[in-house]
């Protein structure tokens, strides 16, 4: 009985060990996701506070500017009222000599001093802020959708390497046959019946069913396509160019190509 109990305990311990490797991965993924989104939320909250402060400061500056202009205009109005009152009194005098003397004594104010220009543009500035915040919201939504969409695609992901037996002489492989670079100078590859005359290269792995892979590229032209292995390797006509006939489907722009076989 003791031996049977020990055996059961041993089997239970083995089952726990078998379950342990899968748990940390899932737990770690959840923790990483929560940590990243927490950092994003905190960053957005900081930026939100900064934008709010910016808006408040702009509104305060606009109000202060408007109040300053109103104070100037009120002084102008008071001055105009005072002069109007003096002129009104003078208009009723019958002593024309006295009238001329009083008019000569009135200060002449240039017209430029009146009608002060008021330049307050808070709405225009705040509208730009609103547009930028709205644009940021759309960008975050796109990033979130891409993350969710990519997580589904990764379930069909596959690791691809380029086949050196198919590579054209103007293409150069590096980083474990995972990077291809076009060069004007030709490489001295050994003759092989599967080598392309045109600047193309196939991947070593074949694809079946649903497959997903990602490609980083730079330069002016590159072509990415899925092709049958029987694609013609000789010549420069459409039959030997990836993406130019029914035997291979184009998924990029023309140029040196890195393709699954």
User: 86 by DSSP, 3-state: which?
Assistant: helix
Say what the pLDDT of residue 196 is: 92
What is the secondary structure of 117-151 as a DSSP string?
Answer: -----HHHHHHHHHHHHHHHHHHHHHHHHHHHHHH
Q: Is the pLDDT of residue 56 over 70?
A: yes
Instruction: Report in angstroms the alpha-carbon separations of 102 from 79, 111, 159.
Output: 17, 21, 99
Name the nearest CA neighbour of 232 among 188, 190, 184, 198: 198
How many whole angstroms separate alpha carbon 223 and alpha carbon 251? 7
User: 170 by DSSP, 3-state: which?
Assistant: coil
Q: Is the pLDDT of residue 172 over 90?
A: yes
* Main-chain phi, psi angles of 257, to 5 degrees: -120, 150
Q: Which two tokens stand for residue 215?
A: 């490609």
User: 182 by DSSP, 3-state: which?
Assistant: strand
Q: Which two tokens stand for residue 190?
A: 């050994």
Q: Is the pLDDT of residue 205 over 50?
A: yes
Which of the given ranges, 15-19, 134-138, 192-196, 232-236, has the highest pLDDT on average?
192-196
Least confident of 8-17, 37-46, 89-98, 247-256: 247-256
For 157-253, CATH gives 2.60.120.920
User: 95 by DSSP, 3-state: which?
Assistant: coil
Stretch(es) of the chain classified as CATH 2.60.120.920? 157-253
What is the secondary structure of 222-246 as a DSSP string?
Answer: -B-EEE-TT---SSSSGGGSTTSBT
User: 162 by DSSP, 3-state: which?
Assistant: strand
How many whole angstroms separate alpha carbon 71 and alpha carbon 153? 65
Say what the pLDDT of residue 192 is: 92
Helix (H) or strand (E) holding 20: none
How many whole angstroms separate alpha carbon 253 and alpha carbon 244? 11
pLDDT tens per residue across span 57-115: 888 888 888 888 888 888 888 888 888 887 777 667 666 666 666 666 555 554 444 45
Q: Is the pLDDT of residue 173 over 70?
A: yes
Question: Using alpha carbons only, how large is the chain's radius of gyration in Å?
Answer: 40
How many whole angstroms separate alpha carbon 224 and alpha carbon 221? 10
| CA angle, residues 85, 88, 89, in degrees to nearest 5 | 90
**In the structure, what pLDDT confidence band is assigned to residue 39 with cuts at 50, 70 and 90?**
confident
DSSP 167: -
Name the nearest CA neighbour of 165 among 145, 143, 136, 195: 195
């Amino acid at each position: 009985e003791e031996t049977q109990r020990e055996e059961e305990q041993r089997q239970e311990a083995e089952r726990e060990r078998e379950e342990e490797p899968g748990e940390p991965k899932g737990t770690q993924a959840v923790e990483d996701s929560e940590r990243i989104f927490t950092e994003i939320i905190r960053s957005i909250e900081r930026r939100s506070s900064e934008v709010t402060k910016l808006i408040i400061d702009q509104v305060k500056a606009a109000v202060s500017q408007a109040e300053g202009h109103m104070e100037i205009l009120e002084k102008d109005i008071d001055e105009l009222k005072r002069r109007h009152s003096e002129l009104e009194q003078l208009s009723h005098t019958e002593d024309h000599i006295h009238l001329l003397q009083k008019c000569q004594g009135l200060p002449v104010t240039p017209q430029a001093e009146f009608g002060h220009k008021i330049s307050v543009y808070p709405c225009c500035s705040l509208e730009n802020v609103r547009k930028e915040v709205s644009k940021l919201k759309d960008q975050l939504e796109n990033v979130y959708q891409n993350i969710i969409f990519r997580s589904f695609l990764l379930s069909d992901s596959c690791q691809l390497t380029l086949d050196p037996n198919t590579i054209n002489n103007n293409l150069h492989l590096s980083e474990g046959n995972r990077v291809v670079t076009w060069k004007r100078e030709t490489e001295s590859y050994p003759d092989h019946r599967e080598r392309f005359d045109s600047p193309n290269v196939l991947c070593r792995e074949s694809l079946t069913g649903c497959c997903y892979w990602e490609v980083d590229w730079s330069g002016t032209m590159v072509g990415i396509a899925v092709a049958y292995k029987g694609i013609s390797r000789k010549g420069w006509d459409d039959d030997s160019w990836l993406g130019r006939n029914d035997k291979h489907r184009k998924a990029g722009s023309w140029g040196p190509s890195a393709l699954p076989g």
